[in-house]
Amino acid sequence: MMPSEQGKARGRSGGMEPDSTRPSARKPQRRRPTAGPALTSDHPHARSLAALEEEASGCERCDLYRNANRLVFGEGPKDARVVLVGEQPGDREDLAGRPFVGPAGRVLDECLTEAGIDRNICYVTNAVKHFKFTERGKRRLHSRPNAGEVRACAWWLAAELDVLRPRLVIALGATAVYALLGNRIKVMAARGQVIAPPSGPPVLVTIHPSYLLRARGHADVAAERGAFVEDLRRISALTGNP
Ligand code: SF4
């Protein structure tokens, strides 16, 4: 478990946040921001995203390639001004070979639409490119990547950001926050803030959309969803996109 996540509950598909972090419990984030492994890692310098994906397809930098079906690289326009970073591919993404096409992806698409943001202008990727899971019968249950796996895969996220040079990065959930900003930033305390790390583009911190799936049935899920939409709505102003 990453240092920043000790004591927090774990989610099934990334970015689990503790129940004690409802809007009324949020406190302003006052810790000095650091750059996480994806903004400090040595990385390959590819000519294009396609070349990078080709190179990454043979990656054995950690053990996660062993059980996953395939690498799930980021996708989106090469001139994207905003990059959305999640945790890792889920079961559906691992089968499809594309990021955010499962249930959490549908929530993300709906919230982007409500926020007036066209997903097609965004580059969407994950901090970790292979699906980590445990098997229960025929089911493959999400297992959160550990800090070593996030650091190993920062090699690729750093390279994607180097090619794209976005104006803004959206960190979706705790794993993405760790990859981009290190372990001093607590996702719910910093939620909605744009943090300028010592190196790299500014990072807007928000929840992972899978959190909204897990929060279904809770009294404050509508408020949490509304806050997520408001976070996404800021993309236009922060990137200069219409
Ligand atoms: S999860 Fe990332 S670092 Fe690990 S094998 Fe896959 S691409 Fe390589």
* Residue 201 to residue 199: CA distance in whole angstroms: 7
Listed as ranges, residues in the chain with pLDDT below 70 are 1-32, 242
Measure the N-to-C terminal CA separation of the chain; round to a whole number of Å. 39
Q: What is the DSSP string of 4-29?
A: GGTTPPPPSSS----GGGSGGG----
Q: 179 in ligand 1 pocket by Cβ < 6 Å? A: no
Mutation choice for ligand 1 from 42, 52, 67, 128, CB with most ligand atoms inside 8 A: 128
Q: Where are the beta strands (DSSP E) in the chain?
A: 82-86, 122-126, 133-136, 139-142, 168-172, 194-195, 203-206
The atom of ligand 1 lying closest to the CA of 145 is 1
The DSSP 8-state label assigned to residue 134 in this structure reads E
Q: Please name the CATH architecture into which domain 33-237 falls.
A: 3-Layer(aba) Sandwich (3.40)
Q: 158 in ligand 1 pocket by Cβ < 6 Å? A: no
Expressed in angstroms and rounded, the spacing between residue 192 Cα and the centre of ligand 1 is 29
pTM, two decimal places: 0.88
The DSSP 8-state label assigned to residue 32 in this structure reads P
Mutation choice for ligand 1 from 60, 87, 142, 150, CB with most ligand atoms inside 8 A: 60
Expressed in angstroms and rounded, the spacing between residue 56 Cα and the centre of ligand 1 is 8
What is residue 242's predicted lDDT score, i.e. its pLDDT?
Answer: 61
* Residue 146 to residue 149: CA distance in whole angstroms: 5
pLDDT tens track for 126-181? 999 999 999 999 999 999 999 999 999 999 999 999 999 999 999 999 999 999 99
The DSSP bridge pattern shows strands 133-136 and 139-142 to be: antiparallel
Q: Which residues contact 229 (CB under 8 A, 6 or more apart)?
A: 111, 114, 115
Tokens representing residue 64 in the block: 């996660």
